Amino acid sequence: MKRFIFCLLFLGFFNCTGICGETLVLSTDDVYPRSTPEGTGFEDLIVKEAFQRIGISIKIVSLPAERGVINVNQGIDDGLFVKIAGVEERYPNLIMVPEKICDYDFAAFTKNPSIQINGWESLKPYHVAYLRGWKMYETNIKAARSIITVKDDDALIELLTHGRVDIIAYELLEMKVRVKKMKLTGIIALQPLLAKKDMFCYLHRKHANLLPGLVQSLKDMKADGTHQRIMTNVMEKLE
Amino acid sequence: MLNNEKRTQNSIGKRLFKLILIVSFCLTLLFTFIQAWMDYHSKMESISHSMEQIERIHVEMIKTSLWSADKEQLRPIVEGMLNFPYVNYAGIIDQDNIVINAGVKRNGEIHQEIKLAYDYNGKNIILGTLIIQADKSKILSEVFKNITIMFLFQAGTIFIAAFMVFLLFERLVTRHLVAAAAHLTSRNIDSIDASLHLHKRNRHDEIDILLEAYNDMIEKLIKIYRDQEETLQELHQSEERFRVLVESIPQKIFAKDKASVYLSCNKLFAEEMGINPREIVGKDDFMLFPVELAEKYRADDQRIMAADQTETIEETYLLKGEERWARTTKTPLKSANNEIYGILGIYDDITEQKRKEQEKVVLQAQLSQSQKMEAVGRLAGGVAHDFNNMLSIIIGHAELAMDKFPPEDPMVGDLHEIVKAGKRSAELTRQLLAFARKQTIVPKILDLNDTIESMLKMLRRLISEDIVLFWKPASNLWPVKMDPTQLDQLLANLVINARDAIKDGGRVTIETDNRGFEEPYREGNTGLFPGEYVVLTVSDNGSGMDKETLENIFEPFFTTKELGKGTGLGLATVYGIVKQNDGFINVTSEPGQGSTFTIYIPRCRSTEVESGKRTVPAVIPTGSETVLLVEDEKCLLELGKTMLERLGYTVLITGSPDEAIRLAKTRGSEIHLLLTDVVMPGMNGRELANQLRTIHPRLKSLFMSGYSADVIAHHGVLDEDVHFIQKPFSRQGLAVKVRDVLDQA
């Protein structure tokens, strides 16, 4: 009996040590305040906390959106965040952690206060621009007077500030931070939002065993206020 | 000059033009291909360079874009790659999925794959593969286009250059050569005196040097030609003199080389060959003569050349079917350096000379025979006279002695033997005289058939019983003129000869025939003159004779018989008789095949044939007339007196002709017959008779002689109206002959 108990303890030790010693690599294409290179964005902190609660440390790397998905799908990276639900349909090696990390507000910005919008169809009379690779916009903005896709945020903002487009489509929080950071004036976010989506973390299929723990951790964090506290701490520090 | 120019189709200019074209074309082709090869490799290198450039410039950007999955950024990069030379396709694949591509991908093109690796998190991640494809067919097409243009351009340039070279060559060289050729063509060796001038400025180029050299050469040639012409003329004159000399020599001359091929000959030689002298040159003896003769000539030539000596050969050859004699002198022909290079022959037809020599030999043989006969004749004549006198005494006294004994007395038999021996001795003398043609004969016109017919009995007695004598007389046989006694002698000798040739039985055949010859005729070794002959043939099937025997059978004293069986005078007598009668004799015989003697006696044109048969009276005639007997041999004189007196005659005797004349003058009227010897000292019998006839014209004469020596005969033939009795004679013979003369009117 003693010998059996010893064996169980021995195996449990080594099993715990194997998981506990592993550092998973997760990528993200989000920027401040959601993610920072230092891992101080609220999404960074929430995901780290969630993994930490199941005893796994993670390393967060910043990758372009598509690259992040591809890397996980190919098993290069272990996971990514944050993506809307349904990404696994195109990338079969991805599994979604079915507890949202945060929301994404898909908004339209303009310098013309007279523009009124009400959903995707209402963009039709305008010259619209958005970032290349954003699946939400690529999927939904089909009809417009003209559609311009650009490579980066700066180009997008420049299109609008120079009056070359009527509307640019972007995530509400991030654009507000950039406008503020760039001290731009006259740029307003149109209401209502074009869409609001829950955003999730994805893991490679090999880590499917971690899903229940992570879901539970996230729920626990929401339940014990850790999730909200992290959000508040980061938002309060917004410049 | 231009009018005389002759342009050849195969001009140097054209050939130069063609050569330049061909060589240049080949070189152009070669260089074009080299250029194409270099161009191709250059383009291939440019593709490699483009690939390297793409790798160096774009790969990092592609990696970054690919890493960020920025297709919008990738697209212009990938599409931009098509701007690199010959790149027809660029694409990025990731695990067999095309991430992005541009252009058209084709199989078989130049293909490069670049792995797009990205360092991430300490790992080297393959993001995908960049595939770049270059259009090889485009390279080939461009290379082909380039070389085509280059080749056409260069070919055109070469053609123009070659044509220019051709024109220049024509102007600078060819036209001068053509003009020079026209100049040379328009002149022959006799008119080669004009210098060559060309319509060009003297630039001292190769043409001018050639022109000067040609004109110099022409001057020298003219001099040499004139010298040679003079030499040639002298040579021609010399040759003509030599030719005239050779042709004037009345002998055949020829020259042959070492292989016996004719080099030359004179007209006489060619005429004898029956062909043109030029046709003989080049031929050899085998083409002109029969093989055996040609081989002999060649052997002679080789021997003479090997010995290096002149040789004279006499030989026979056939010319137009006739055998000719030639005397050929051959001497080796030598060159200036004393090397024998052939043979010179000079020959003469000596057929006539040879014929004369042969005739001379025959004549000499005949002369020798004649001299021999003359000698034998002289001997026989000389001996015969005295010998026959002696025999007359022996036979006469033996006969007289027989009268003194009764017939049964043994002494009579002995005396008969003496008479027989005397007669046989007389026969011997007769044969000698016959051979020497000195026999005194009295030819008569005979029918040989009749004469021989009467002799057959006597002839059969000569041969033995086991020999059959065949007699084959010809019908209508021509008459001949001949002494029957000689025919007796002739046939007896031939039959005895045949008999002796037959050993154990056989046959002897006697034939007669007529035969005429219009041309001289040669049978065996006998030459017959044209004419008509009566042929008497005596043949046997005896042992025959060999050639050597045949050549000597007519020699006196030649015999093949045993000692004592033959005198060797039989056939000599036959020969002499035939010749004395102007006839010919031919003998054919071969050992074991018998012998045939053919005698040709000239035909006698007279048709009054006299009888050849002789009759002997049964009783000895006697008489009472007075006979003047003249004989210088005293014994014979006494014997004659006794014989005549016993026959009843009154006999006056004398030993000298002068005494006989005196007696005739004193007792001329008593004398009826002069019986005189022919050969006597002081006066011969004929002269004596003539003189006595002047005294007593009616005096009859009877000559007696052992050998008359043509006193009363001409070539042995007794003169007309001359009566003659051959010594030795028998009492009966004398009685018959005396009575016969006295009884004639």
Q: Is A25 on the interface with B (CB under 8 A)?
A: yes
Q: What pLDDT is recorded for position A14?
A: 40
- Work out the number of other CB atoms within 10 angstroms of the CB of residue A35: 23
Distance between A62 CA and the closest CA of chain B, angstroms:
11
- Name every chain B residue with its beta carbon within 8 A of the beta carbon of A138: none
For residue B615, the one-letter residue type is: T
Give bridge partners of residue B596 from the DSSP assignment.
B539, B588
Burial of B350 (0-12, 13-18, 19+ CB in 10 A): middle
CA distances from B683 to B337, B476, B622, B686, B688 (A): 85, 48, 30, 8, 7
CB B663 within 8 A of CB B688: no
CB contact under 8 A, A70 and B70: no
Which chain B residue is nearest to residue A67, measuring alpha carbons?
Answer: B68
Q: How many residues does chain B have?
A: 745
The secondary structure of residue B284, as a DSSP letter, is B
CB contact under 8 A, B70 and A149: no
CB contact under 8 A, A70 and B69: yes
- Per residue, the 3-state secondary structure of B482-527, as one string, reads ECHHHHHHHHHHHHHHHHHHCCCCEEEEEEEEEEEECCCEEECCEE
Q: What pLDDT is recorded for position B525?
A: 52
Segment-wise mean pLDDT, segments of 10 residues, chain B, 745 residues? 57 81 85 86 85 86 82 85 87 86 84 87 86 86 86 86 86 83 76 74 83 85 85 89 84 89 88 82 86 88 92 82 86 90 90 84 76 73 78 87 86 88 81 74 85 87 87 92 86 89 88 85 65 92 87 78 70 86 89 91 79 64 91 88 91 91 84 88 87 87 79 70 84 89 83
Distance between B68 CA and the closest CA of chain A, angstroms:
5
What is the CA angle B313-B315-B319, rounded to 5? Answer: 130
- State which H helix or E strand residue B67 sits in: helix B12-67
Burial of B223 (0-12, 13-18, 19+ CB in 10 A): exposed
- Mind listing the pLDDT tens digit for each residue in A181-225? 888 999 999 999 999 999 999 999 999 999 999 999 999 999 999
CB B653 within 8 A of CB B637: yes
Q: Is B73 on the interface with A (CB under 8 A)?
A: yes
Distance between B71 CA and the closest CA of chain A, angstroms:
9
CB contact under 8 A, A76 and B123: yes
Q: Is B97 on the interface with A (CB under 8 A)?
A: no
Distance between B151 CA and the closest CA of chain A, angstroms:
53
CB contact under 8 A, A67 and B121: no
The secondary structure of residue B658, as a DSSP letter, is H
Distance between B120 CA and the closest CA of chain A, angstroms:
9
Distance CA B370, CA B381 (A): 15
Q: Is A61 on the interface with B (CB under 8 A)?
A: yes
Q: Model pTM?
A: 0.42
The secondary structure of residue A78, as a DSSP letter, is S
- Name every chain A residue with its beta carbon within 8 A of the beta carbon of B73: 151
- Work out the number of other CB atoms within 10 angstroms of the CB of residue B473: 15
Q: What pLDDT is recorded for position B523?
A: 59
CB contact under 8 A, B70 and A64: yes
CA distances from B457 to A108, B461, B488, B610 (A): 196, 6, 12, 20
For residue B421, the one-letter residue type is: A
The secondary structure of residue B170, as a DSSP letter, is I
CB contact under 8 A, B69 and A67: yes
For residue A144, the one-letter residue type is: A
Distance between A67 CA and the closest CA of chain B, angstroms:
5
Task: Give me the helices (H) in A121-210, please.
Answer: 135-140, 153-161, 172-182
Q: What pLDDT is recorded for position A16?
A: 41
Which chain A residue is nearest to residue B95, measuring alpha carbons?
Answer: A74
- Work out the number of other CB atoms within 10 angstroms of the CB of residue A131: 19
Q: What pLDDT is recorded for position B563?
A: 61
Q: Is A75 on the interface with B (CB under 8 A)?
A: no
- Structure tokens of B488? 């007796």
CA distances from B101 to B51, B89, B91 (A): 16, 7, 4
- Name every chain B residue with its beta carbon within 8 A of the beta carbon of A69: 69
Distance between B102 CA and the closest CA of chain A, angstroms:
20
- Name every chain A residue with its beta carbon within 8 A of the beta carbon of B120: 71, 76
Rg (CA), chain B: 66
CA distances from B170 to B2, B17, B162, B164, B212 (A): 15, 10, 12, 10, 21
Which residue did the predictor score with more confidence, A113 or B32?
Answer: A113
Mutate to test the interface with A, among B96, B120, B126 (most CBs of A within 10 A): B120
Mutate to test the interface with B, among A60, A62, A71, A130 (most CBs of B within 10 A): A71
- Please, which residues have CB within 8 angstroms of residue B48's CB and are 6 or more apart in sequence? none
Distance CA B540, CA B595 (A): 6
Q: Shortest CB distance from B69 goes to which of A64, A76, A149?
A: A64
Q: What pLDDT is recorded for position A19?
A: 47
Which chain B residue is nearest to residue A64, measuring alpha carbons?
Answer: B68
Distance CA A142, CA A214 (A): 37
CB contact under 8 A, A133 and B120: no
Q: Is A71 on the interface with B (CB under 8 A)?
A: yes
Distance between A129 CA and the closest CA of chain B, angstroms:
15
Distance CA B125, CA A74 (A): 10
- Please, which residues have CB within 8 angstroms of residue A158's CB and are 6 or more apart in sequence? none
Q: What pLDDT is recorded for position B710?
A: 65
CB contact under 8 A, A66 and B68: yes
CA distances from B635 to B64, B404, B639, B653 (A): 195, 19, 6, 12
Distance CA B590, CA B570 (A): 20
Q: Cα dihedral angle (B270, B254, B296, B310), rounded to 10 degrees?
A: 150
DSSP string for residues in B71-89: HHHHHHHHHHHTTSTTEEE
Q: Is the dihedral of CA B507, B512, B513, B519 positive or negative?
A: positive
- Name every chain B residue with its beta carbon within 8 A of the beta carbon of A70: 69
CB contact under 8 A, B69 and A71: no
Model confidence band, residue A3 (pLDDT cutoffs 50, 70, 90): very low
Q: What pLDDT is recorded for position B716?
A: 67
CB contact under 8 A, A151 and B125: no
Which of A177, A31, A200, A27 lies closest to A103, judged by CA?
A200
CB B702 within 8 A of CB B671: no
Which of B24, B313, B364 lies closest to B166, judged by CA?
B24
Distance CA A216, CA A220 (A): 6
Q: Is B335 on the interface with A (CB under 8 A)?
A: no
- Structure tokens of A185? 């004036």
CB B542 within 8 A of CB B406: no
Contacts with A, B 123-182, CB within 8 Å: 123, 125
Which chain B residue is nearest to residue A29, measuring alpha carbons?
Answer: B68
- Name every chain B residue with its beta carbon within 8 A of the beta carbon of A61: 121
Please state whether the peptide bond connecting residue A82 to the residue before it is cis, i.e. omega within 30 degrees of 0. Answer: yes
The owner of tokens 């093949």 is: B560
